[in-house]
Structure 1
């Protein structure tokens, strides 16, 4: 670029000046005498600015953010080094915007570029590559990014790693790509990083709880050949056997009226007196349900919370055969990594059992704390766990509402019992209409990009078609097809005002009673609207209203939020935005029901999977000019998130329309329906 740009620049410059002179441009008076000259001169100015921007970008890419002699020498002596440093500087420029500065002198903290969570790198792989150069205190994997951080125990280890790895392939881990390293003054704190020193409240761990002989006796008492009453199964990630009661993975519960023939083996009876001797109360009665899981290296169990209504406190897990790391996660982002040594007993009660999910990542190695205070990589071996529970008879009454299935059933029952249109309308008024009036301008500022499938639907309409947008928000789907006539409505006067200020035909109206004559529209769209309605009857009424205003043969496109925000391994755009810097919706909010709420619905944690169908979703608004010290106001919006097939079933109740298409789109369930031709 350094040799090509000047030639291109002067060529354009000569051409533009020549054109200007031909057009008799008055240089002293700065006036154009022809429109052709005006166009040529404007072309010259734009081209000049573009070329200068490219030159500056090239200069920036070659500005050495790390001025250490070693890095400079490597750049001078290697073409590959120049390429590596260019990519490294790009990453460091982005990090500098987040307050993470590179250093030209050795530091314990090292940024490792070209690998990370976004490239599928495992923490253990990076640690194994770095340990030959010195003890490592921490590895920080930034979610979704192609870089990560390593904190060495001393400067010497960091320097050795830099000298051996920067711009080169790792001889210890040849599968890793070329790495580029940089010293950093600080390593970003990240709530999602595992912390071995963090323990969930209510978690107890008793090491060496059983002897080697007792371990062997317990392992031998499990008869894997007996599969009566489906008590023994082979799941995708492990072998499972149940005693006392079978745990149903399809319902995440037990059939309390159908105990299994085999009770808990008597070889386990010695555990409870010993546990009491250690000062742990196992309740008035010992466990009556046992699940035995056998894991081979590479196997695991997904994050989960044992169903509140299924089991009492506490839940106990005995690790036999090998050690493993179990991850505990809280909805507020805290992440604890707990090492379960071989022959240890884990006791989960209170918050640890009810509010934290737990699971074992499927992998063949674990990163564990070393005796010297650093980290080590340990290969996994075959492990068997004995998980003891006592079946609960009745409902859970805990305070951890966001995890509690009993609380959700009570909330749903209250919503159904309230049943009246007046109660549902009151909930919508307080937690939909009033909220959107208060956040209208801020909401509009965050909603710009149209959904591709909705955009394609609008742009495919024929010239002259009449399109109605029900719940149009800030009218982001208006003017996408200039050949159709479009009108919209929204319950928020604030959002309707925003639309009218943009020159669009929008009025204030409720989707339950549209102020339009029957059969006037060729098409209708309603994006993210009816999930704000607080009863099935009202959601059905809204669909019927939209069908009413369609002409015979007219079509409608409906989008609602899905309870499932991940399909297979593909996360929705909503979940992916959890790592966005400055996203006001990702900030932590207490999971307490608002005091003024009409019904005790759970509060959803933003940018996470939905646990319940009827929830309050917080909107955290930071007005312009507000300092960081001030607490931004939080508003709670009511949502009914849809299960798979629920939207199609709802539309099927409308007699004069047919669902012609349904699909899942980035965390939304969507249908296209057509009004029955006359």
Structure 2
């Protein structure tokens, strides 16, 4: 990363009074979020008080800038937090880093300076939680190290010349043998085998595998995908399509070690080193229930009990061997199984004419009924949304699409804000506060093209019941932006446990903290028309489906229902499409925009886009 003027400023003579005030504020936040005790006396441990994973700060950036001042023992990034920690092997190094970086290095969100604090110690509970997801591999994953010799590695690498052969994807080069894997449909075409079969040079792997792991039952693969990754390239998290390939899947890694991330629906996260010349077996749960992916970066950092290990990436080539499946998958991991989902889950989203009726009944009318109660429980702005709003210059125009009760309408300083919502009752709340609001729909924003400097869409798009309508909502947000304008989008995540930490949504139910993740889940469904059913979600539990109805209980004394005029408790069902990891990013990639930042924030997937 270049140390340009927008990254490093000239070192001031100590912090100014406003900066000291900010530092104290952020130190308080760090203590509140982590329990770490700040101190004015130098220690080996430094807290980065105002930037962390949730703000887009990465281990790679922290290591790049802090390692200049001495040997780093530990970098502790905390899921869902706006702070993190760096530990040096001696106090001299940490003091030097503190004096050169505090209030000066612009690596916080929106290129703002980071504010630091020495801390007495890093709480042991945070260290243990961080190590947990880097320990044992998921069930069914086997890594056989040094599976081939140096000369065999050279022979495998010589099979493909990526300067001449192979198609290019966004993050890597790729070549197929046996069958082409079609990325547009995430499957193979059994009727169109390729002339080039798996090279004979690969045959040595199967006899060696039978000797090294005799208990493994497998059929020799007939499909091979070769990927070439340059430093800084990766592959998004994904599950190899169940109906396309059998179990197991094999990966031979050549040229460089890499860290691969494995994640499941329960939020379990394993960051595992895949060594050079290793052979990976993905079977059972690791093949069917876990996504696997490689984060695009130029170095990998692994934190173990032994300390910090840094791997600088070189060009890596992977050989992924698979056996093409004939027929449906019959696995027990239904949430990731395309065969099961096609035959067992009757998604009403295919019924285009039904979409508006569903949203009118289970979104618009519900909010009219619960407006008073909803407004009473939605008053505290989310910090990262506030930071986004405050990043705009004086005189900017910001549009809040789906403004609700207007809790973000007063967060900006010296900017113009306009709110938009479909609920008249919620707009009346905004008008009582003298906010400038419009009645309208996120699919047809009543504003001209290219008029806004910024926009936010917080917890709105997940109420749209078809992919086409969700796509249209993002297109509308970009339409009203000027070139260079930015939009922040929040949607509810299917993964309410991320990197082994529960979201605030799950934590709100104390009973669920003591029960298993899969307990107390409702099997109830609501039948709409034409026999289409939508599952009714059990509040404060993990989502088991993407298209769900979530109950809102309007208790007595929460305001009279507009439908009944009574004070009796009522339950309303709101429609949600909860987003899987990567789904929002993939949708945004189809637009003429730049993805500035994507992150997970307390049970939500979030993106910041810039209009080109």
Do both share a fold (TM > 0.5)? yes
Please give the per-residue CA displacement for 1:128-158, whole angstroms capped at 9, x wherever unaligned.
Answer: 524864451442255573x421245xxxx25
Partner of 1:374: 307
SS of residue matched to 2:426: coil
Partner of 1:650: none
Change (3 A) 1:163 1:223: closer
Which of 90, 99, 104 lines up with 1:167 in the alignment?
Answer: 99
Distance 1:109 1:184 in 2: 7
Distance 2:291 2:487 in 1: 21
Distance 1:305 1:566 in 2: 31
Task: Check conservation: 2:520, 2:538, Cα contact below 8 A.
Answer: no
Task: Check conservation: 2:403, 2:421, Cα contact below 8 A.
Answer: no
Partner of 1:395: 328
Partner of 1:95: 30
Please give the per-residue CA displacement for 1:54-86, whole angstroms capped at 9, x wherever unaligned.
Answer: xxxxxxxxxxxxxxxxxxxxxxx9543766543
SS of residue matched to 1:271: helix
Change (3 A) 1:481 1:162: closer
Please give the per-residue CA displacement for 1:640-666, whole angstroms capped at 9, x wherever unaligned.
Answer: 68999xxxxxxxxxxxxxxxxxxxxx9
Q: TM-score, normalised by structure 2?
A: 0.60
Task: Check conservation: 1:138, 1:374, Cα contact below 8 A.
Answer: no
Partner of 2:601: none
Partner of 1:342: 276
Partner of 2:260: 326
Distance 2:477 2:296 in 1: 19
SS of residue matched to 2:139: coil
Distance 2:276 2:310 in 1: 16
Please give the per-residue CA displacement for 1:206-249, whole angstroms capped at 9, x wherever unaligned.
Answer: 1001111111121122355886xxxx302222110000111111
SS of residue matched to 2:151: helix
Change (3 A) 1:593 1:418: farther
Q: How does 1:357-506 map to 2 (within 5 A)?
A: 357-368=291-302, 373-413=306-346, 443=374, 445-447=376-378, 452-453=400-401, 472=423, 475-478=425-428
Partner of 1:214: 152
Task: Check conservation: 1:432, 1:638, Cα contact below 8 A.
Answer: yes
Partner of 1:127: 63
Change (3 A) 1:440 1:453: closer
Shift of 1:330: 2.5
Distance 1:529 1:290 in 2: 38
Task: Check conservation: 1:602, 1:616, Cα contact below 8 A.
Answer: yes
May I ask how many residue pairs the two structures share in their alignment?
469
Segments of structure 2 that go 5 or more residues without pairing to the other structure are 1-11, 382-397, 407-419, 440-458, 479-484, 527-531, 557-570, 585-605, 608-612
Partner of 1:596: 524
Task: Check conservation: 1:592, 1:602, Cα contact below 8 A.
Answer: no
Shift of 1:124: 2.6
Shift of 1:112: 2.3
Task: Check conservation: 1:566, 1:572, Cα contact below 8 A.
Answer: no
Choose between structure 1 and 2 for higher RCO, CA contacts under 8 A separated by at least 6 residues.
2
Q: How does 1:132-171 map to 2 (within 5 A)?
A: 133-141=70-78, 143=80, 145=82, 147-151=83-87, 157=89, 159-169=91-101
Change (3 A) 1:385 1:84: same
Please give the per-residue CA displacement for 1:17-42, whole angstroms capped at 9, x wherever unaligned.
Answer: xxxxxxxxxxxxxxxxxxxxxxxxxx
Matched, 1:195 2:133: yes
Distance 2:538 2:474 in 1: 13
Matched, 1:180 2:120: no
Task: Check conservation: 2:176, 2:225, Cα contact below 8 A.
Answer: yes
Please give the per-residue CA displacement for 1:245-277, whole angstroms capped at 9, x wherever unaligned.
Answer: 111111111112211111111111111121122
Q: How does 1:644-663 map to 2 (within 5 A)?
A: none
Structure with greater helix percent = 1
Distance 2:318 2:470 in 1: 44
Shift of 1:564: 11
Task: Check conservation: 1:593, 1:600, Cα contact below 8 A.
Answer: no
Task: Check conservation: 1:244, 1:264, Cα contact below 8 A.
Answer: yes
Task: Check conservation: 1:162, 1:181, Cα contact below 8 A.
Answer: no
Task: Check conservation: 2:238, 2:293, Cα contact below 8 A.
Answer: yes
Q: Which has the larger displacement, 126-135 or 389-398?
A: 126-135
Distance 1:338 1:358 in 2: 10
Task: Check conservation: 1:305, 1:358, Cα contact below 8 A.
Answer: yes
Q: How does 1:277-356 map to 2 (within 5 A)?
A: 277-279=211-213, 283-356=217-290
Task: Check conservation: 1:307, 1:405, Cα contact below 8 A.
Answer: yes
Matched, 1:584 2:532: no
Q: TM-score, normalised by structure 1?
A: 0.55
Task: Check conservation: 1:192, 1:334, Cα contact below 8 A.
Answer: no
Change (3 A) 1:269 1:99: closer
Matched, 1:244 2:161: no
Distance 1:622 1:102 in 2: 42
SS of residue matched to 1:367: strand
Task: Check conservation: 1:192, 1:335, Cα contact below 8 A.
Answer: no
Distance 2:212 2:549 in 1: 44
Distance 2:308 2:373 in 1: 45
Shift of 1:184: 4.5
Shift of 1:531: 5.8
Distance 1:334 1:322 in 2: 26
Please give the per-residue CA displacement for 1:487-527, whole angstroms capped at 9, x wherever unaligned.
Answer: x9xxxxxxxxxxxxxxxxxxxxxxxxxxxxxxxxxxxxxx9
Shift of 1:203: 1.1
Task: Check conservation: 2:59, 2:75, Cα contact below 8 A.
Answer: no
Distance 1:159 1:135 in 2: 11
Task: Check conservation: 2:75, 2:303, Cα contact below 8 A.
Answer: no
Distance 2:486 2:272 in 1: 26
Partner of 1:572: 489
Task: Check conservation: 1:603, 1:616, Cα contact below 8 A.
Answer: yes
